[in-house]
Amino acid sequence: MARTSPEVREFTVSAEESGTRVDFFLTRRLPEWSRSQLQRLIRAGLVTIGARAARKAGEEVKAGDRVSVRLEPREVSAAPECLPLAIVYEDADLVVVNKPAGMVVHVGAGVKSGTLVNALLHHIATLSTAGGESRPGIVHRLDKMTSGLVIVAKNDNAHRALAGQFKGRDVHKTYMLLVHGRVTKDAGEIAVPVGRDPVRRVRMGVGGIRPREALTRYRVLRRFPHFTLLEAEPRTGRTHQIRVHFSSLGHPIVGDTLYGAPGKLRIGGREVKTLARSFLHASAIEFRHPRTNAETSLRAPLPGELEDFLRLLTAEDR
C-alpha cells in the first residue's frame, strides 16, 4: 500500500472560467481527481479562494481569483499480480513490454488491479521509483484501449535518462491505425493544439481548456473503400493526441466511439458491431539506451484481432 505525498496546487481563474462553480473549476484543472473527492476537500476547508476558505462547492469563482487546494495523500494499492506480460526486450536497466488493449497502465482512482504495474511487480524484481510509488517503472503511458510498446525503467538513473529523452522529443514512437473514410493525402502533418474538453473531462479536444501545441505526422499504408490504414508518429506527447487529431479531420479511429467512431459498421453487405477496442497500436519505438547511449529500435506486430479485422476488409475489397 503506497501513499502519495501531500501537495498544494494553485490555479488562476481565466476570463472564460469566470462564474464557474469552484468544484467544477477544480475538476477541470485536476482531472485525475473526481468531483466528489474535491467536494470533500472543500468541506474540509482545504480549498481557498484568495485568502479565505471556499464556503461551499457551489461557490462561483471570478476571473483573476487564485484558487489553492491542499491535496491530501491518497492511498493507492499496487500489489503484484500474476498476469501475462509480453516482454519484447529486457536488460539490467529497462524492460520493454507489448501492452494488450484493455489493460490500464497503472493503478489510480477506481483502478486497483489488473494493471500493467500489477503485472510488472510480479514479473520484474526491481523497478524505478522516480515516477512515484504508485507508478513504479512507468516512464510513459498508453491509453487503456491502445496496444503496443511501453518502456519501463528498472532503476532511477534509467528512469531520469529516459524521461529526459521523452521531454526533449528524442524518443520516436510509431503507431499503426485504421480510420474511417479515405484519407486523400499520401502523407502529411496535423498541427492542431489539444486541450481538455470543457464539458466532458474524460475527453480532450481541438483547442479546449489550456490547449498545448500538438504535431502528428502520418503516411497512408493502404486504402479500403471506407477505411484507411495509416502509420503515424506523434512528435508531441499530448493526451489522446492521435485520436483527437484524426477525429478533427473527420476520420475517427475505428472502435474509438469516444471520439466519434460509429458503434456499428457495414462490412461484406451486413451490419456488424465495431471493434471492442481502438484500432490503434504502438508498433515501433526508437530511443537511446540510458546507460550505453546506443540507438535502440524495437517493433511489435499487430495483435491478432486487428490482423483479423484487416483480413475481413481485404476480403471485402476483392
Residue-wise pLDDT tens digits, 108-120: 766 788 999 999 9
Residues 214 and 307 placed together within one structural domain of the fold: yes
Residues 154 and 251 placed together within one structural domain of the fold: no
The one-character DSSP state at 40 is: H
The span from the CA of 36 to the CA of 289, in Å, is 43
Instruction: Place 6 in a pLDDT band, splitting at 50, 70 and 90.
Output: low
Residues 176 and 313 placed together within one structural domain of the fold: yes
Q: Give the predicted TM-score (pTM) of the model.
A: 0.77
Structural domain for 252, as ranges: 172-317
Catalytic one among 23, 65, 93, 143?
143
Residues 176 and 227 placed together within one structural domain of the fold: yes
Known catalytic residue at 143 = yes
The span from the CA of 278 to the CA of 291, in Å, is 35
159 with 130: CB under 8 angstroms? Answer: yes
Helix (H, G, I), strand (E, B) or coil at 166: helix
Q: Can you give the CATH number for the domain in which 65 is found?
A: 3.10.290.10
pLDDT in tens, 38-92: 888 898 889 999 989 998 999 999 999 999 998 866 545 578 999 999 999 999 9
- Final residue belonging to a domain, choices 151, 167, 183: 167
pLDDT in tens, 272-304: 899 999 999 999 999 999 999 999 999 999 999
Residue that has been written with the C-alpha cell 506486430 in this structure: 301
Number of domains in the chain: 3
- Final residue belonging to a domain, choices 146, 167, 188: 167
